[in-house]
Structure 1
C-alpha cells in the first residue's frame, strides 16, 4: 500500500468543506501540513501514443534523400570532361526538381573561357529562341549579371499568367510550350559565379521546399566539380596553344613536291613534333621526332630541339648524319636527362632524291601505284642514349607520283597492337589508298589515319601524340 493509495482510501466522496476536510494520515516521510492537490493525474492509458509511424516516415524520407544525393554526386564525380559534367548536372537537377527540360549557361564571372550553353530536351533552334529574350528578362541572365535580389534561386511558377513578366519571355514560353521555370546560380567561394541552370515545367508549377533544398545541396557540390574541370580545360587549351606555336605555322611550297601533315597531341601536351623547311638550292628538309614525357617539360625540350635542328639543317643540310650528331650534342648539354628520337631527311625534289638518317626512329614508308614499302634504315640508338651518336645515312629515290610518309611511333602505339602487327596495319592502309586519293597528300594522309585508327584521333582517345607528314613527289 503506497502513499497515493492511503490518500485515495480516506478521501470523501463529496466536495469537502474547509472545516470538515479530514486530516491526512501521518505517513512516514510526508508532512501532513503540506496541502495536497485534489486533482489526480490522468491514467497512463489516456496519454496519446508516441508518433512512431511519423518518425519512421521522416527517417525513411531522409535516408532516401541522402541515398539519392549520394548516387547523383557519385555519377557527377565520375565525369572527367567539362561537357559531360555539365550534361550530368543539368539532368540530375531536372530529376530533383521534377522538370523535363532545361538549359545551363556556363559563363564565369572573371570572363575566362570556357563559355557555353547546353540544353536538356531543347533543340539548338529552341535554345536560339530563348536567347532572343532580353538578357535581363531571363532568370539565367539576371543571375549571371548579378542583378539585385539574384543571390538566391529564382522561381517563376506561372510565366504565362504573370503580367509582370516580359512580353517577349511569355511569347517564347508559349511557343516552346513551357509555363514555369526554376533557376539556380552556380558559384563557388574561390571562383565566384560560374553560370546558372534553369529548369522548365510544362505546366504552372514550383518545386517543393524539400526539392529546393536537395537541388541546392547538389548544385553546391556540382559547382566545385565544374570549377575544377573548367580550370583543367583552360590549362589544356593553353598547353595546346603552346604546342601548336612550337610547330610550323605553315608548310613550305616548293616545285616538284607537295606536303601535308596531320598532328594530334594529347590533352597534357606530348613530345611529338615535326618540321619542314626550305633550304638553299631548292632543297627541302623534313624532320619528325619524339621527346620522352609530356607536359611543359616535354614542350620546352621540343622547342629547343626544333630550333637547334633548323640551325644545323642550314649549316649541314646535305649531311643528315651531321645534323643529328649536332642535335645529339645539343640534347646532352641542355637536356641531360632526356632521350629523344628523330629522323631527318634532306630532299631534292627536282632530282627526286631523299637522303635521310634516323636516331631510334621508325622508318619512312613509300607508297604509290606500283609499290608500298618501308625504307630500309640502319638500327640506331635514340639521341641522348649513347656518349656519342652516329649512324649511316640512307639514300633512295621516290618515283613520280609516289608519297613518302614520315610518322611518329605514337601512330603505331595508338593501334594497341604489337609492333609487328602495327607496322603491318600501317602498310596495308597505305597500300589500300584509292587511286583517286593518291593525287592529294592530305587526302592520302586522312585515309591512312582513318584506316589505322578507325576510332579517330580525339585527344581523349589515347595517351600518345600522332604525327603523319606526307610528301608527294611529282
Structure 2
C-alpha cells in the first residue's frame, strides 16, 4: 500500500515575484584546529568564509519584494470605485498571493443592512449554485461568516489542505468538490475592528495544497486593507441607494392618462442625488400641466428642497394653472421665504389637448423642443432669470400650437451638462438627436425620449452615474 502523499505547499503565482537573492545555508560553527572544506574542482582551494551579513541582505531583499508586491496590489484595489469592481480585484489579487486559481467572495455585512452578494473567480454561475447547495457550516467561508472565528480578533483564517482526506467531510461537499474539481481551500474573513465583519473570501486549489506562511502573511495584510476599502465603498453604495430611493419617491410614481396626449418620462440620478424633477398632472377643464425644474446643490438638502417645490407647484397649478406666470411667481415667493440660500430653474406648461394649444412660462430654464414629421425646433421663450435670483420674478408667457403626432420634449439642464461640451454645441447635439428619431419610433414618446438620451449621451453615458441629474418629459399630442 502506498503511503499517502503529504499536502504540498501552493505554488507562488508569477504576479508575486520571489526574492531576487538566494543564499546557501550558513556552515556550522568551526571547530578549533580544523580548516574549511575544499571545493571539488577548485584546485583544492577552500570555500571563502560565508559573509555574516549575507543572510540579512537576503531577508531584506525578500521583504522589499513582498512590500513592493503588496503596494502594487493595494494601489490597484484603491483605484476601484464600486463594490463589484473591488470584490473582483480582491479575488484576483488574493488568488495571486495564495497561489490559487479559483475562488469566491461573499459580501454579507453583519449589521444586516446589506447589500448581500456572492462573486466568483473562475466559477460560472452554475458552479456558484452548486456550492450554495453545500451546508454553509461545511464550507470554509461559512465557518468565518457564522462563528466568532470571522470576527475581529478571531482565528482569522480557515485552512483545508486536503478535503478528501478529512474524516467526516460533508457528503454534499464531497460531491460538489469532485464535480467542480477542487481538493483544498483557504479562507480569510473580511473583518476589521473599524469595519466589523463584512464577509469572507475563499480560494480553491485543484490539488491538495495550502499557502506557505509567507503567502498567508501577505494575504492577511492585503485582505485587511481590502476590508477597509470595501467598508468605504459599502457606505457610499448605501448612501447612493438611499438617495435614489428618496429621489424616486419624490417624483411621480406614474404619469396620468389624459385623452389626446401620450406621456413618457426618463430620469437619471447623480451619485449624490440632485434637485432635477419633472411632473405631469391633470387639471380642470380637461387640461394638463407639465413641469420640469432644477434646484441648485446636491445631496439630501437639494432633494428635500426639490420635493417641497414640486409639491408646491402642483398646488399652485391646480389653483391658477391657466396662468403659468402666476404659478411660477407664487413658486418664486415660496422659494425666497423658505429656501433663501437656494435658486431654482423651472418651466410650467398649461396644455389644452383638445385644441393642441400650450401656454408656458420659464424661469431660467432651457426651452422645450418640438419633434414632428415636418419640423424639429426649439420653442422661442422669453429670457428670464432663475427663481430666487431677483427681488421679484416675472416674465411673459408664450403660447404655441402643436400638430397632430408631434411630441413636445421638456428636459433639465443636466442633459446638456453631461455632454461636457459648451452650451451651444450641447443644444446642437440635442437638436440633431431629436431630428434623427426614426419615423416608426415617433409614435411612442418613450421611444423618442430613449433615442434622444442615447444619442446625446452615447456609449452608455446615459446609464452611468454622472455629476448631473437628468430628467426628460415627453408629451405626444394625437
TM over 0.5: yes
- Decide which of 232, 235, 250 is 2:254's aligned counterpart: 250
For residues 467 and 45 of structure 1, the distance between their equivalents in structure 2, rounded to whole angstroms, comes to 89
Give the match for residue 80 of structure 1: 81
For residues 276 and 465 of structure 1, the distance between their equivalents in structure 2, rounded to whole angstroms, comes to 19
For residues 456 and 462 of structure 2, the distance between their equivalents in structure 1, rounded to whole angstroms, comes to 14
Question: What are the Cα deviations for residues 106-150 of structure 1, in whole angstroms up to 9, with x where unaligned?
Answer: 001111111111111111111111111111111112211116797
- The Cα shift of 1:55 comes to 2.1
1:166 equivalent to 2:170? Answer yes
The 8 Å contact of residues 279 and 314 in structure 1, kept in 2 or not, is answered as yes
Secondary structure at 1:438's aligned position in 2?
helix
**C-alpha spacing 1:461/1:192, structure 2 compared with 1 (3 Å):** closer
Secondary structure at 2:348's aligned position in 1?
strand
Question: What are the Cα deviations for residues 129-183 of structure 1, in whole angstroms up to 9, with x where unaligned?
Answer: 1111111111112211116797331111112333421111111111111111101
Give the match for residue 310 of structure 1: 314
For residues 299 and 461 of structure 1, the distance between their equivalents in structure 2, rounded to whole angstroms, comes to 16
Count of matched residue pairs = 434
For residues 458 and 42 of structure 1, the distance between their equivalents in structure 2, rounded to whole angstroms, comes to 83
The 8 Å contact of residues 454 and 462 in structure 2, kept in 1 or not, is answered as no
1:330 equivalent to 2:330? Answer no
Give the match for residue 188 of structure 1: 192
The 8 Å contact of residues 264 and 457 in structure 1, kept in 2 or not, is answered as no
- Decide which of 252, 267, 270 is 1:266's aligned counterpart: 270
For residues 328 and 44 of structure 1, the distance between their equivalents in structure 2, rounded to whole angstroms, comes to 102
**C-alpha spacing 1:397/1:217, structure 2 compared with 1 (3 Å):** same
- Decide which of 460, 463, 470 is 1:466's aligned counterpart: 470
1:178 equivalent to 2:160? Answer no
The 8 Å contact of residues 291 and 302 in structure 1, kept in 2 or not, is answered as yes
- The Cα shift of 1:49 comes to 4.4
Give the match for residue 458 of structure 2: 454
Question: What are the Cα deviations for residues 192-251 of structure 1, in whole angstroms up to 9, with x where unaligned?
Answer: 211000001111101101111111111111111111111111111111111111111111
Within-5 A mapping of 1:329-348: 329-348=333-352
The 8 Å contact of residues 248 and 275 in structure 1, kept in 2 or not, is answered as yes
**C-alpha spacing 1:228/1:458, structure 2 compared with 1 (3 Å):** farther
**C-alpha spacing 1:148/1:68, structure 2 compared with 1 (3 Å):** closer
- Decide which of 274, 282, 285 is 2:286's aligned counterpart: 282
Give the match for residue 385 of structure 2: 381
Tell me, which stretches of 5 or more residues in structure 2 are unaligned? 1-30, 37-47
Give the match for residue 152 of structure 1: 156
Question: What are the Cα deviations for residues 345-378 of structure 1, in whole angstroms up to 9, with x where unaligned?
Answer: 0011121111100000000000111111110001
Structure with the greater alpha carbon radius of gyration: 1
Give the match for residue 431 of structure 2: 427
Secondary structure at 2:358's aligned position in 1?
strand
- Decide which of 299, 305, 309 is 2:303's aligned counterpart: 299
Secondary structure at 1:235's aligned position in 2?
helix
Give the match for residue 136 of structure 1: 137
Give the match for residue 23 of structure 1: none
The 8 Å contact of residues 100 and 199 in structure 1, kept in 2 or not, is answered as yes
- The Cα shift of 1:42 comes to 4.6
- The Cα shift of 1:460 comes to 4.8
TM-score, normalization by structure 2: 0.88
Give the match for residue 117 of structure 1: 118
For residues 197 and 148 of structure 1, the distance between their equivalents in structure 2, rounded to whole angstroms, comes to 13
Give the match for residue 57 of structure 1: 58
For residues 213 and 341 of structure 1, the distance between their equivalents in structure 2, rounded to whole angstroms, comes to 57
Within-5 A mapping of 1:334-373: 334-373=338-377
Deviates more, 1:455-464 or 1:296-305: 455-464
Within-5 A mapping of 1:394-433: 394-433=398-437
For residues 148 and 430 of structure 1, the distance between their equivalents in structure 2, rounded to whole angstroms, comes to 60
For residues 113 and 372 of structure 2, the distance between their equivalents in structure 1, rounded to whole angstroms, comes to 48
Two-structure CA RMSD over aligned residues (Å): 1.8
The 8 Å contact of residues 265 and 459 in structure 1, kept in 2 or not, is answered as no
For residues 235 and 435 of structure 1, the distance between their equivalents in structure 2, rounded to whole angstroms, comes to 41
The 8 Å contact of residues 195 and 227 in structure 2, kept in 1 or not, is answered as no
- The Cα shift of 1:43 comes to 7.6
TM-score, normalization by structure 1: 0.88
Tell me, which stretches of 5 or more residues in structure 1 are unaligned? 1-40
Deviates more, 1:240-249 or 1:75-84: 75-84
Give the match for residue 28 of structure 2: none
